[in-house]
Amino acid sequence: MTSGSAYTEQVELHGHIIDSLLLPKVLDIVLEQGGDFELLEVRIGRRRQDPSYARIEIRADSADRLRAILQQISLHGAVPIEQHDCTVVAADQDGVYPDGFYSTTNQPTEVRIDGEWIRVADQEMDCGIAVDPVRRTARCVPMAHVRRGQLFVVGHRGVRVVPVARDRQVGHGEFRFMASDVSIEKPKRSLIERIAHAIRAARASGKKIVLVGGPAIVHTGSVGHVCRLIRAGWVDVLFAGNALAAHDIEYALYGTSLGVYLDRGEPAHHGHEHHLRAINTIRRCGSIRAAVEQGVLSAGIFYECVRHDVPFVLAGSIRDDGPLPDVITDALVAQDRMREHLRGAGVALMIATVLHAIATGNLLPAWVTTVYVDINPAAVTKLIDRGTVQGIGIVTDVEAFLRQLCDLLPA
Amino acid sequence: MTSGSAYTEQVELHGHIIDSLLLPKVLDIVLEQGGDFELLEVRIGRRRQDPSYARIEIRADSADRLRAILQQISLHGAVPIEQHDCTVVAADQDGVYPDGFYSTTNQPTEVRIDGEWIRVADQEMDCGIAVDPVRRTARCVPMAHVRRGQLFVVGHRGVRVVPVARDRQVGHGEFRFMASDVSIEKPKRSLIERIAHAIRAARASGKKIVLVGGPAIVHTGSVGHVCRLIRAGWVDVLFAGNALAAHDIEYALYGTSLGVYLDRGEPAHHGHEHHLRAINTIRRCGSIRAAVEQGVLSAGIFYECVRHDVPFVLAGSIRDDGPLPDVITDALVAQDRMREHLRGAGVALMIATVLHAIATGNLLPAWVTTVYVDINPAAVTKLIDRGTVQGIGIVTDVEAFLRQLCDLLPA
Amino acid sequence: MTSGSAYTEQVELHGHIIDSLLLPKVLDIVLEQGGDFELLEVRIGRRRQDPSYARIEIRADSADRLRAILQQISLHGAVPIEQHDCTVVAADQDGVYPDGFYSTTNQPTEVRIDGEWIRVADQEMDCGIAVDPVRRTARCVPMAHVRRGQLFVVGHRGVRVVPVARDRQVGHGEFRFMASDVSIEKPKRSLIERIAHAIRAARASGKKIVLVGGPAIVHTGSVGHVCRLIRAGWVDVLFAGNALAAHDIEYALYGTSLGVYLDRGEPAHHGHEHHLRAINTIRRCGSIRAAVEQGVLSAGIFYECVRHDVPFVLAGSIRDDGPLPDVITDALVAQDRMREHLRGAGVALMIATVLHAIATGNLLPAWVTTVYVDINPAAVTKLIDRGTVQGIGIVTDVEAFLRQLCDLLPA
Amino acid sequence: MTSGSAYTEQVELHGHIIDSLLLPKVLDIVLEQGGDFELLEVRIGRRRQDPSYARIEIRADSADRLRAILQQISLHGAVPIEQHDCTVVAADQDGVYPDGFYSTTNQPTEVRIDGEWIRVADQEMDCGIAVDPVRRTARCVPMAHVRRGQLFVVGHRGVRVVPVARDRQVGHGEFRFMASDVSIEKPKRSLIERIAHAIRAARASGKKIVLVGGPAIVHTGSVGHVCRLIRAGWVDVLFAGNALAAHDIEYALYGTSLGVYLDRGEPAHHGHEHHLRAINTIRRCGSIRAAVEQGVLSAGIFYECVRHDVPFVLAGSIRDDGPLPDVITDALVAQDRMREHLRGAGVALMIATVLHAIATGNLLPAWVTTVYVDINPAAVTKLIDRGTVQGIGIVTDVEAFLRQLCDLLPA
């Protein structure tokens, strides 16, 4: 936004504008849409029942952008000071709105006819507004009901929305259930790009990148992606449990994970024993590092950690088999080891492990960028409910996420 | 909140208090906690980079409540104008904080020592703050690390939180993923009580109660609950598809739903044919009403609808078998029938049917109380993503929900 | 099934009857439906390409039951030795099948017309079979397409299904994805009755009932139910983590769980600190038992455990706050303590805790009845994937489950 | 498997081998593992309480493979006729089993010591079996408890498993909940390869490939993948609803889906109106084909369908906005259109649409390969519960699936 924004318009906002979050919402939209604002006048009611008033100058660097901003904030009741009647155009075909038709929301709506604000009847979302200028009436009409010659509102001039006030009587308990934030229907690529950006920024500023991973990294065939990240220096410390390490090593030694050959998806005979044999093999060597040095372990995530001196903390749990000799079986000792390694963290990337992600989230200050990836929306929700609200949750396939992330971080 | 609130304290709030939603959040908390406020002074920066300032008088009807409010808003940076150093008490046992210890969040925190605000090191949630008054340092210490004699902050005086600013650079795309609103870990009884209250209020004010239901009502053994609601007059119109009606009638005729005996959970022989035979039987009669009048159908949800003159709209879909003769197979005709019946609606109670719930939500204005109940969190999320943001989503067992609701509505 | 089963019929089964699981499936159905069988002749191909043959006498105690069995096994290709043509009846109304119509599956089907087996065209599930006896053709006709006078097959005589052979080329990897076993759409009451029966049977035979629980027991308001079970002697040992105990004690001391008042569903001010204060309080006492003896803790699950001498094992994890002094922080020590208490177990009832349920499942022999209850289907699936295949999974609301279970077990 | 399999061993199987599914299971394993069998002797009990007996010759083309088969079938009680004592080796390190240790299941297990079968105590999965040859005892020992010098069973000789009989008393109701088949933790690449293979096979044999798609194809940014499939001739007919088409056209006209720019993941101003404007635009043209011919629509899935003469069926539903002029609003008419196009289908590929997938599944015979892809496991389960048991369900990210599928099918 340059200072030379030539396009401006003044809008007004009435009502309980602070209490009801309207003013901040309007300002938010202006900034998000690439505009800027100046609060020309703000009169805030002293008590909660007192009305407030704001006069705001909106600025943008193009007429288009300004119009876009005005349209969007009009949905929250911010209307230009100079007001106009609504514009109507006759439908030229049955079942088709005129071009540029105003598309309704389900909020109470009014249109201005001959200087008077008229409430729209039959309020329904995704309709057009048919106006009868003689009777001074307006109502929502579904697309399939449009009749040729019917007058419809076009554009946003002369239309205003009167948002439903938040009902304090019903209380917050319910309305916290209102908006969906862990959706599986949103495009993910741009989100992954931002995560890659945050990781590069962390490294550039000398902050640590912490990877916290569960065994689904192995089961989904993502070992190669994580190895690439480690080799390219994108992982400063790895937190995991016995399972990730055991299955990574199982895969390195047998080509299986949970006994299933990852390249063909078929179970190995006696494959369910592989992870136990893998653990036994490492216990015989004494440690993962010793297994690498003795040439017993020569591939996989933990092999790369040893080779590239990436420290790891394996925290034990009561469901562990074995466990591997590197596993810290005492939870308090493991927490302290994690605390040490989290000093200086910039990004925590948590993949498919509720237990370790919550544990790490508990130890992190709010200013560390925290990303949680899981195919299970409930897992993402659970993590965020535990207080790690700064988290970015992504509901997706772990393998798909890691592959795309690798592509965005230079090897 | 009576006007005679005797307990007051003035607090200050600095920073981008509107832009960052801090002021509305603080005012929200005051009201939620049963207090009241007066904005004594608000200076709002004209441009977005300008700092703002608010001086607020907080009032409550007891010292306890006032203290509670002050504690909570302090987490958002609102601190009393008269400031005090933090209070410290020595731990009297290893591994145990002093009573009344300040419990940390993961936000940046400062404590006041000898008039000076000191940043707390090692920020971590759910810790105590150990203070070294000589070196003027403070740091988070986990409970298990407490040593006898160590000084810990108690109470909220002299502690302030400096909330992490929202990072506009990262943008909204990510932060919309932030907070969990469709949680399965929340207590449901009080929420169901509020829904019962809204239903009673709708009836008292002459508004309609619309029930929108899917076949899981039958599969989960909840037919009896819905029949009770209908008989007691708590349903003014029923929207459903072929499936709810077919399985309700299957259950009335055969005791099964999807071919499984509901009383013992065992599949009937050839039970998968029952719903088709049920549909065929009703087609032979000509309509559901005719089947009731001919004595063919004498129990179940649709029997009660006929007996109590509760209208129903059965909207067809491409996955229907049969369908029942009452099913409206044309989607546009069905929508129009639904629109008619939704006039005057006060509450829409939607149970375990994504398709019919979204369809109904699309037709409803935002001021109708909309409740969606499903055991599948993804279904609840999906509904809310479609624009029905006024919805109250409850992730629970359908049978458990309806049983509790019945208990709260007089038969 | 008494020995005096008077109703019998001989059926034949051809093909790869063992290899393709057909014979066991048919015998299964006979027993499930309350019938009995005798294998009169079994000729099993020596090599896998050799066909097999079985002649089976089916017996039942009523003509109805026998007919039901014959109908059901006919879907798997078992047909009476004495064969009949199919019976056809003319439709007497448009859009309505004749009573007793044969309802199709999506498997290849043949009907017998004048002694000849004719393949049914347009195979589709949930249709009737229209027969043209002159042209000797038969095809599936959807209900809405029925025309008056059209001839339809009624009953199961003269109809046979030729099940699609399992395709070994495609392999098992895919077909393991085939059948749904963790469904949320099934009636639960009868299942809960069986669990109650298994619990009573375990107690009668002197075997232990092990309860494994997660904190959702508290969050969902189910503490009272578990207390009732403990007081009535239905719990011999309790396994949990720090979280269940901390929130149970938080609820006993503050009336909240995760800071939310359970009776009204509203957050307490500073409620997020309650669990930490609860833990601190018990640490000060030295142990949960000491807190009970000192009168500090006087309600809740762990209070009842202490009072009724029900041992508990609290296994630590890295996400624990505090933890409570009774928590065993070393995973291997905790596993050993669990092993000791599992000696003599008859039933393990696992409620809403993936970690502790998997851990316990790992330690149990296959002959212990294992029940897993969670509202999240993915959690149930995960548990069963870990090898605890003897498990009974129930996807339902924890509170609803425990309330129903309490009602079925005498207090 | 060549006929010259040189390696053979005879095994025996006792008990209720047919009734309990043991024999088919053992034969299955032999074939799956690449071996072959001959049933040398089968004596099947005439009544269900009578024991059965089978003597089977197992053959394989290598000693390794034979050993693998023998190991695996031994878990189901099939033991070599020539029997041996178990082999024991002393542990050479604390906490480490000897190489080749026998790894336990949770099933009842016996080991042969001096010709006698001894029951293993403390049965637990993932343990070794420690043997005391003097006292003739054996018990499961967890890895961490191994002491140097302790004798452990190695290999599978002299070990047999006595599978827990299925308990008919508890009944099928429960055991249908037993095994997980819709897992999100399995590797998907090989499964996708098999689907690509099935698609190529369908085309080679002149059968149709039917694509059934929901709007998540657009929301997840997968339009390009589907366009590639259409251009390369891998789609013979497309089934969808108004939503897929509306969002595909919204994306073609505005670059958004549900109002969110897919390339950057940011909401467009007034983006929620785009799909309605897109529908209005096509209605003005008269049809999708007309819009393509008039140059209004020049990209996307439906553009490619028109250009490449791929027919599509758009079936309406009550939640539709508009709808598009091509939408068939009557459900029965839409079903019939779908039936016509399904004639000759070889593969049905269903992507993220429960409604259309169930509807299509209802119309398909069991021998059509049916693939259902959704990120929501509950959706996959629901589809399969509706009777489309031949289905292959994949729980994954739609975009990731389609990208991988495209890579496997020549453009």
Q: Tell whether pTM > 0.80.
A: no
Residues 6 or more apart whose CB falls under 8 angstroms from that of B20 comprise A24, B163, B165, B166
pLDDT band at A132 (very low <50, low <70, confident <90, very high): very high
Rounded-to-integer distance, Cα B60 and Cα B70, Å = 10
Residues of C in contact with B264 (CB under 8 A): 190
CB of A270 within 8 Å of a chain B CB? The answer is no
CB of C181 within 8 Å of a chain D CB? The answer is yes
H/E stretch holding A38:
strand A36-43
State whether A221 and A132 are in the same domain.
no
**Bridge partners of C350?**
C212, C372
Name the least confident of B201-215, B328-342, C335-349, D72-86.
Answer: D72-86
Residues 6 or more apart whose CB falls under 8 angstroms from that of A261 comprise A255, A267, A268, A271
pLDDT at A408 over 70: yes
Burial of B135 (0-12, 13-18, 19+ CB in 10 A): exposed
Mean pLDDT, range A221-245, rounded to an integer:
96
Residue B318 is nearest to which of D171, D267, D334, comparing CB atoms? D334
Mean pLDDT, range B195-208, rounded to an integer:
94
CB of D364 within 8 Å of a chain B CB? The answer is no
Residues of A in contact with B170 (CB under 8 A): 194, 198
State whether A111 and A128 are in the same domain.
yes
pLDDT band at C20 (very low <50, low <70, confident <90, very high): low
Q: Would B104 be classed as within a structural domain?
A: yes
- In terms of pLDDT, which residue wins out, D389 or C275? C275
CA distance D177 to chain A (A): 20
Among B180, B336, B390, the residue to mutate for chain A (most A Cβ within 10 A): B180
Whether A320 contacts A241, CB under 8 Å: yes
Q: What is the reported pLDDT for D71?
A: 84
B51: cis peptide before it, omega within 30°? no
CA distance D368 to chain B (A): 18
- Of C375, C381, C382, the closest CA to residue C400 belongs to C375
Q: What is the reported pLDDT for A384?
A: 62
Residues of D in contact with A124 (CB under 8 A): none
Q: Would C70 be classed as within a structural domain?
A: yes
Mean pLDDT, range A220-242, rounded to an integer:
96
Contact call for B390 and A142, based on CB within 8 A: no
Mean pLDDT, range A260-276, rounded to an integer:
76
Residues of A in contact with D189 (CB under 8 A): 221, 262-263, 265
Report residue C269 as tokens.
């001010």
Name the least confident of A113-127, C172-186, D66-80.
Answer: C172-186
Whether B397 contacts C396, CB under 8 Å: yes
CA distance A310 to chain C (A): 21
Contact call for D143 and A322, based on CB within 8 A: yes
pLDDT at D402 over 90: yes
pLDDT at A222 over 90: yes
pLDDT at D330 over 50: yes
- Of D271, D274, B393, D270, the closest CA to residue A181 belongs to B393
Residue D319: C-alpha distances to residues B359, C264, D329, D355, D375 (Å): 4, 35, 11, 12, 22
State whether B92 and B133 are in the same domain.
yes
CB of C40 within 8 Å of a chain D CB? The answer is yes
CA distance B366 to chain D (A): 16
Q: Where are the beta strands (DSSP E) in A216-367?
A: 237-241, 256-257, 260-261, 312-315, 345-351
**Bridge partners of B238?**
B211, B312
Mean pLDDT, range C105-128, rounded to an integer:
91
Report residue C178 as tokens.
């085939």
Q: Would D174 be classed as within a structural domain?
A: no
pLDDT at D166 over 60: no
Among B318, B332, B333, the residue to mutate for chain D (most D Cβ within 10 A): B318
pLDDT at B129 over 70: yes
Cα angle, residue A118 at apex, residues A115 and A122 outer, rounded to 5°: 155
The residue to which tokens 């800027």 are assigned: A36
Q: What is the reported pLDDT for B313?
A: 98
Which pLDDT tens digit goes with each residue over C241-286?
A: 999 999 999 999 999 887 778 776 666 766 778 999 999 999 999 9
Contact call for D331 and B338, based on CB within 8 A: no
Average pLDDT, chain C: 85
Rounded-to-integer distance, Cα D66 and Cα B11, Å = 81
Report residue C135 as tokens.
């042209």
Whether B257 contacts B300, CB under 8 Å: no
State whether C280 and C215 are in the same domain.
yes
Q: What is the reported pLDDT for D190?
A: 76
Q: Provide, rounded to the nearest whole percent, the portion of chain C with pLDDT above 90.
A: 51
Residue B42 is nearest to which of A44, A144, A182, comparing CB atoms? A44
pLDDT at A176 over 50: no
- In 10 A of CB A147, how many CB atoms? 11
State whether C338 and C392 are in the same domain.
yes
pLDDT at B334 over 60: yes
Q: Would A183 be classed as within a structural domain?
A: no
Which residues in A339-361 are b (16+ Cβ under 10 Å) and which e?
Answer: bebbeebbbbbbbbbbbbbbbbb
pLDDT at D170 over 70: no
Name the least confident of B81-95, C262-276, D271-285.
Answer: C262-276
Count up the domains in chain D and report the number: 3
Rounded-to-integer distance, Cα A211 and Cα A341, Å = 11
CB of D63 within 8 Å of a chain A CB? The answer is no
B-chain residue closest to A174, CA distance: B392
Q: Would B175 be classed as within a structural domain?
A: no
Contact call for D96 and A188, based on CB within 8 A: no
Mean pLDDT, range C53-68, rounded to an integer:
86
CB of C218 within 8 Å of a chain B CB? The answer is no
pLDDT at C149 over 50: yes
Residue D125 is nearest to which of C24, C47, C387, comparing CB atoms? C387
CA distance B242 to chain A (A): 24
State whether C203 and C328 are in the same domain.
yes
CB of C167 within 8 Å of a chain D CB? The answer is no
Q: Give me the half-sphere count of Cα atoms (radius 13 Å) on the Cβ side of residue C359.
A: 30
Under DSSP, the state recorded for C163 is P
Which pLDDT tens digit goes with each residue over C282-333?
A: 999 999 999 999 999 999 999 999 999 999 999 999 999 999 999 999 999 9
Among D168, D319, D362, D364, the residue to mutate for chain B (most B Cβ within 10 A): D319
Name the least confident of B163-167, B309-313, C239-243, D353-357.
Answer: B163-167
Name the least confident of A367-381, C175-189, D41-55.
Answer: C175-189
State whether B255 and B373 are in the same domain.
yes
pLDDT at B44 over 50: yes
Whether A396 contacts A373, CB under 8 Å: yes
* Domain CATH code at residue C228: 3.40.50.10690
Average pLDDT, chain A: 85
Residue C147: C-alpha distances to residues C93, C121, C127, C152 (Å): 7, 18, 14, 10
H/E stretch holding B152:
strand B151-154
pLDDT band at B19 (very low <50, low <70, confident <90, very high): low
State whether B11 and B150 are in the same domain.
no
State whether C280 and C361 are in the same domain.
yes
Report residue D113 as tokens.
């010591």
Chains near B (3 or more Cβ pairs under 8 Å)? A, C, D
CA distance D164 to chain C (A): 7
Q: Would D178 be classed as within a structural domain?
A: no
Q: What is the reported pLDDT for B211?
A: 98
Contact call for A71 and D270, based on CB within 8 A: yes
Length of chain A in terms of residues written: 411
Q: Which of C24, C50, C82 is the last residue of a domain?
A: C82
* Domain CATH code at residue A23: 3.30.70.2690
- In terms of pLDDT, which residue wins out, B166 or D97? D97
Q: What is the ipTM of this complex?
A: 0.75
pLDDT at B296 over 60: yes
CB of B189 within 8 Å of a chain A CB? The answer is no
Chains near C (3 or more Cβ pairs under 8 Å)? A, B, D
H/E stretch holding B131:
strand B128-132
Rounded-to-integer distance, Cα D229 and Cα D408, Å = 11
Length of chain C in terms of residues written: 411
Which pLDDT tens digit goes with each residue over A293-319?
A: 999 999 999 999 999 999 999 999 999
CB of C376 within 8 Å of a chain A CB? The answer is yes
Whether B263 contacts B269, CB under 8 Å: no
Rounded-to-integer distance, Cα D134 and Cα D113, Å = 10
Mean pLDDT, range C120-144, rounded to an integer:
94
Q: Provide, rounded to the nearest whole percent, the portion of chain D with pLDDT above 70.
A: 86
Under DSSP, the state recorded for D247 is H
Q: Provide, rounded to the nearest whole percent, the portion of chain C with pLDDT above 70.
A: 86
CB of B99 within 8 Å of a chain A CB? The answer is no
pLDDT band at D314 (very low <50, low <70, confident <90, very high): very high
Residue D280 is nearest to which of A97, A396, A397, comparing CB atoms? A97
Q: Residue C63, Cα to own-chain centre: how many angstroms?
A: 31
Q: Which of B36, B61, B82 is the last residue of a domain?
A: B82
Q: Would C234 be classed as within a structural domain?
A: yes
A323: cis peptide before it, omega within 30°? yes
Q: Would B180 be classed as within a structural domain?
A: no
Q: What is the reported pLDDT for C146?
A: 95
State whether C222 and C364 are in the same domain.
yes
* Domain CATH code at residue B98: 2.40.420.10
D-chain residue closest to B266, CA distance: D173
Which pLDDT tens digit goes with each residue over A43-71?
A: 777 776 777 888 888 988 888 888 888 88
Q: What is the reported pLDDT for B29?
A: 83
pLDDT band at A173 (very low <50, low <70, confident <90, very high): very low
Mean pLDDT, range D139-161, rounded to an integer:
92
State whether C78 and C98 are in the same domain.
no
**Bridge partners of D131?**
D138
CB of A121 within 8 Å of a chain C CB? The answer is no
Which pLDDT tens digit goes with each residue over C369-378?
A: 889 898 877 7
Q: Residue C288, Cα to own-chain centre: how many angstroms?
A: 36
CB of C103 within 8 Å of a chain D CB? The answer is no
- In 10 A of CB D201, how many CB atoms? 14
Chains near A (3 or more Cβ pairs under 8 Å)? B, C, D
Segments forming the whole domain that contains residue C70: 1-82
Rounded-to-integer distance, Cα A116 and Cα A107, Å = 19
Under DSSP, the state recorded for A272 is G
Contact call for C321 and A362, based on CB within 8 A: yes
Rounded-to-integer distance, Cα A343 and Cα A106, Å = 49
H/E stretch holding A161:
strand A159-161
- In terms of pLDDT, which residue wins out, C196 or D50? C196
pLDDT at A184 over 60: no
State whether D211 and D355 are in the same domain.
yes
Q: Which of D64, D82, D100 is the last residue of a domain?
A: D82
CB of C179 within 8 Å of a chain A CB? The answer is no
Rounded-to-integer distance, Cα A56 and Cα A67, Å = 15
D-chain residue closest to A218, CA distance: D187
The residue to which tokens 């993910």 are assigned: A188
Q: What is the reported pLDDT for D82?
A: 74
CA distance B49 to chain C (A): 32
Mean pLDDT, range C327-351, rounded to an integer:
95
Q: What is the reported pLDDT for B175?
A: 27
Average pLDDT, chain D: 85
Q: Provide, rounded to the nearest whole percent, the portion of chain A with pLDDT above 70.
A: 86
